[in-house]
Amino acid sequence: MGIDLTTHYLGLTLKNPIVASASPLASTIAGIRQLAASGAGAIVLPSLFEEQIRQELAASEQLIGVGADSHFEAGSYFPPSVAASDVPRRYLDLVAEASKAVEVPVIASLNGTTVSGWVDYAAQIEAAGAAAIELNVYRIATSASATSALVESDCLGLVMAVRASVRIPIAVKLHPYYSAFGALARQLDAAGADGIVLFNRLYAQDIDLVRLGWVKDVALSHPSETRLGLLWLSHLFGRLSHASLAAGTGVETSDDVIKYLLAGADVVMTTSSLLRNGPGHISALLSGVENWIKLRDFKEVTEIRGLMRDRTPESDTERRERGGYIRSLTTYRGPYVTG
Ligand SMILES: Cc1cc2nc3c(=O)[nH]c(=O)nc-3n(C[C@H](O)[C@H](O)[C@H](O)COP(=O)(O)O)c2cc1C
């Protein structure tokens, strides 16, 4: 008998826990069909950015003579194809067509940081047929006046505003660089987030020593980046009242998927592995997961979820992490270490 891979995420039923995360692979209907045909349990569309919505709003205000001075401050940072003011309308078309084109849930992605008029777009995305919205809060708080308390309360305010605009589920995708991620996750859970995606990657730039310029490329992820996600999933599993958990970074093989499930992920998302190996890689990931589950004599994927969760009483988890940290450093041995 086959393994039952049925999974629940954001209150949706998925046929398996592998989700194609937001990427250019899902920017066309042909690409979305390919991801579905390769076995994705759900597909996240690439993001519609706050700046793009504000650009459209500014353009329509100018057309009707309101806010003739309105200046779209971020427009100049975008390539022209992304800054075009019809991007939001085309995005709604993509949501509508994609939702009809494939059987699996299509999750739209809104990407922004501030609470303002653009948030109303969530309702249009819902009306276009998205099964859920993933809210990507990609904020690098470079201003030294932005305290962590302010950044977290902005994030919560944004989630509440989107929550108030739609009935479909909302997932929140965050980078790991918050000083107390556990507390933030719990507040997001209480604020009505149906899922948390751990983690967004930061696309920090490198320096080209020949040209003496910044390198603005995208470096795809590596499996060593799963460790932070494993840590937080293992601590959050079973400790939120409502929100489901998505693992977001570093998957290359089915081993990475299995580890994330064991740590407590409801679903495991991947982009880099699909950009490297093509959408067909999803079926390789799925058969690897199935084989592992079978070998261990389990029948359903739900049986392995959270098996490796942190079982320490919550009051003791910090001390346990300190213990693990000290043990790792003090037991290191290598060819140049004496004694
Ligand atoms: C080329 C490229 C485009 C991406 N576009 C988006 C996007 O539009 N919205 C978003 O939330 N994430 C986007 N991501 C991030 C991925 O969804 C994912 O979170 C990240 O790549 C980490 O997963 P991975 O380790 O499997 O690559 C993009 C990533 C890449 C490499």
Q: Give the chain's mean pLDDT.
A: 93
Best residue for ligand 1 mutational test, from 18, 19, 23 (most atoms within 8 Å of Cβ) = 23
Q: What angle do CA 128, 134, 137 make, to 5 degrees?
A: 130
Cα gap 293→285, rounded to integer Å: 12
Q: Does residue 139 or residue 55 have the better pLDDT? A: 139
Name the residue with tokens 């995208």. 218
pLDDT of 71-80, one tens digit each?
A: 455 556 777 7
Task: Compute and round to an integer the Cα radius of gyration of the chain.
Answer: 21
pLDDT of 201-251, one tens digit each?
A: 998 899 999 999 999 889 999 999 999 999 999 999 999 999 999 999 999
Atom 17 of ligand 1, residue of closest alpha carbon: 22
pLDDT of 32-41, one tens digit each?
A: 999 999 999 9
**pLDDT of the residue at 253:** 98
Cα gap 242→249, rounded to integer Å: 22
206 three-class SS: strand
In eight-state DSSP terms, residue 339 is: -
pLDDT of 278-329, one tens digit each?
A: 999 999 999 999 999 999 999 999 999 999 999 999 999 999 999 999 999 9
What's the whole-model pTM score? 0.94
In this prediction, residue 69 has a pLDDT band, given cuts at 50, 70 and 90, of very low
Cα gap 339→151, rounded to integer Å: 46
Is 109 near ligand 1, meaning CB less than 6 Å away? yes
337 three-class SS: coil
Best residue for ligand 1 mutational test, from 269, 271, 272 (most atoms within 8 Å of Cβ) = 271
Q: What is the DSSP string of 78-108?
A: S-HHHH-TTHHHHHHHHHHHHHHH-SS-EEE
Cα gap 75→46, rounded to integer Å: 19
Q: How many CB atoms lie within 10 A of CB 327?
A: 10
List helix spans (H) across 166-249. 181-190, 226-236
- Name which CATH class applies to 7-330: alpha beta
Phi/psi of residue 28, each to 5°?
-130, 160
Q: Which residues contact 67 (CB under 8 A, 6 or more apart)?
A: 58, 61
Q: Is the pLDDT of residue 177 over 90?
A: yes
pLDDT of 243-287, one tens digit each?
A: 999 999 999 999 999 999 999 999 999 999 999 999 999 999 999
Ligand 1 centroid to 175 CA: how many Å? 12
Is 111 near ligand 1, meaning CB less than 6 Å away? yes
Q: Is the pLDDT of residue 83 over 80?
A: no
Per cent of the chain over pLDDT 90 is 85
**pLDDT of the residue at 216:** 87
Ligand 1 centroid to 21 CA: how many Å? 6
